[in-house]
Amino acid sequence: MYNPKSMKAEEFINHEEIIESLAYADENKDNLHLIRQILDKAKERKGLSHREASVLLACEIPEILNEIYDMAQQIKKDFYGNRIVMFAPLYLSNYCINECVYCPYHKQNSNITRKKLTQDEIREQVIALQDMGHKRLAIECGEDPINSPIEYVLESIKTIYSIKHKNGAIRRVNVNIAATTVENYRKLKEAEIGTYILFQETYHKKSYEELHPKGPKHNYNYHTEAMDRAMEGGIDDVGLGVLFGLELYRYEFAGLLMHAEHLEAVHGVGPHTISLPRIKHADDIDPDVFDNSISDEIFEKLCALIRICVPYTGIIISTRESKEVREKIIRLGVSQISGASRTSVGGYEEDQRPHDTEQFDVSDQRSLDEVVRWLMEIGYIPSFCTACYREGRTGDRFMSLCKTGQIQNCCHPNALMTLKEFLEDYASEKTKKVGEKMIESELNNIPKEKVRKICENNLKEIENGKRDFRF
């Protein structure tokens, strides 16, 4: 039986409820009266249920689709402004004891070079990332209790935070590692991580078990209930995601929203972020083997609907997607993107991107400087801000700030100040010229005069060599 307040995976992600929701959506996809009611509810900015959202996803009426896209853009603008937060992944190890059929790190793959970074190698990687201008990392690690136990992850986090190179510093470490225990989540919290991220891959239990035939990840319930254990361990910023292409996208969409509803119902706060990856080519993985791939048009629709359905949640698009796709998707509600990513273990200090330890092909291979300039040229502020986490504005405190609209008086000036740091320390002359013009213009969009004056003074101090101002 479906119960969003249940702590059992098969009850808060209930297969029968999803099937009924999809049938309901098919029956009502042309029901303009109902669709209009759903859209009117969406305008209240309080989100939509998985069943309501499924109706909109099934609807193919052009005028309704245009309204959905327009609403998504407006919600993104109202809650997140025109800021795009920047981050990079850092792969620590590709040793893994799972046999996930879609991932080249699976245990049976004898083609891939296995590698685990030492702490000295992590230092080299972090310094290279700092020299690009990154301030926020997401660490990735295969599941292997021998080669990469929780102690290794904790030591690596400590190493990352300890490195101060020139004006560089990693100010926030997000963690994407396998489902673990409440005790280990408490240790991650004590290590001062930012967001704990765990992709569900697929919410379809039968498919999930077939895609994960052996290894600890085979346990669907343990994996799906991980966010509840993370919350119990004190981590109040968690990030969801599915790997689109493994199962039918409408099923995944409903399951994803049900998971968000569950977190809200049980913990009082939904996911901090939702990631939208699509399966891509990798070492011994052919995405054409999976027959549930989605078109760019459906991908855009999914992004827009997630922005409408969970309006306060950050949406992440990685370098799996090309520049062209990212440019289309960003306008529909994306708030975070990666830049200059290397999906191999190590390699950031190398001129050429290594391929022997990659988890997946990177479609957008531009430098961080190029990505920053591109964002500004299409009207977005690249933000390297980590202030909310460091000021304790996480979980329900962040959501409260976002819902009241006060985020513009914190995040907007913080974005401008961190962009200024990037321009002073790392940008090419061409990028710096574009950035200075943007900062001058965007200062006028800070609502409170007092905040604007403080920001202007801080920008001058940054020019004089001071760093790390934040509201």
Q: What CATH code is carried by the domain that includes residue 339?
A: 3.20.20.70
Q: Do 149 and 247 fall into the same domain?
A: yes
Q: Do 428 and 342 fall into the same domain?
A: no
Q: What is the DSSP string of 56-81?
A: HHH---HHHHHHHHHHHHHHHHHHHT
Rounded to an integer, what distance in angstroms lies between the CA atom of residue 408 and that of residue 282?
A: 40
DSSP letter for 205, please.
Answer: H
Q: Do 174 and 270 fall into the same domain?
A: yes
The reply to whether 425 falls in a domain is yes
Local confidence pLDDT in tens for the 471 residues of the chain:
999 999 999 999 999 999 999 999 999 999 999 999 999 999 999 999 999 999 999 999 999 999 999 999 999 998 889 999 999 999 999 999 999 988 888 888 888 889 999 999 999 999 999 999 999 999 999 999 999 999 999 999 999 999 999 999 999 999 999 999 999 999 999 999 999 999 999 999 999 999 999 999 999 999 999 999 999 999 999 999 999 988 899 999 999 999 999 999 999 999 999 999 988 655 555 556 666 778 999 999 999 999 999 999 999 998 889 899 999 999 999 999 999 999 889 889 877 655 555 555 677 889 999 999 999 999 999 999 998 878 888 777 777 767 676 677 789 999 999 999 999 999 999 999 999 999 999 999 998 999 999 999 999 999 999 999 998
The reply to whether 256 falls in a domain is yes
Predicted confidence at residue 261, as pLDDT, reads 98
Expressed as residue numbers, the domain containing 168 is 77-365
Cα three-residue angle 12-314-55, rounded to 5 degrees: 55
Query: Residues with Cβ < 8 Å from 387, sequence gap 6 or more?
Result: 393, 410, 411, 414, 470, 471
Rg for the chain (alpha carbons), in Å?
A: 21
pTM of the model: 0.94
Q: Do 334 and 209 fall into the same domain?
A: yes
The reply to whether 87 falls in a domain is yes
Cα three-residue angle 130-437-426, rounded to 5 degrees: 15
Q: Do 346 and 409 fall into the same domain?
A: no
The size of the chain, in residues, is 471
Predicted confidence at residue 289, as pLDDT, reads 65
The reply to whether 427 falls in a domain is yes
Q: Do 270 and 152 fall into the same domain?
A: yes
The reply to whether 28 falls in a domain is no
Predicted confidence at residue 351, as pLDDT, reads 72
Query: Which of 365, 388, 413 is where one domain is finished?
Result: 365
What are the distances in angstroms from CA 53 to CA 135, 250, 314, 365, 407?
35, 10, 18, 34, 26
Predicted confidence at residue 89, as pLDDT, reads 96
Q: Do 265 and 409 fall into the same domain?
A: no
Predicted confidence at residue 463, as pLDDT, reads 97
The reply to whether 69 falls in a domain is no
DSSP letter for 134, please.
Answer: -
Rounded to an integer, what distance in angstroms lies between the CA atom of residue 268 and that of residue 266?
A: 6
The reply to whether 240 falls in a domain is yes
Please tell me the total count of domains within the chain.
2
Predicted confidence at residue 106, as pLDDT, reads 85
Query: Which of 335, 365, 395 is where one domain is finished?
Result: 365
Q: Do 421 and 361 fall into the same domain?
A: no
Predicted confidence at residue 357, as pLDDT, reads 53
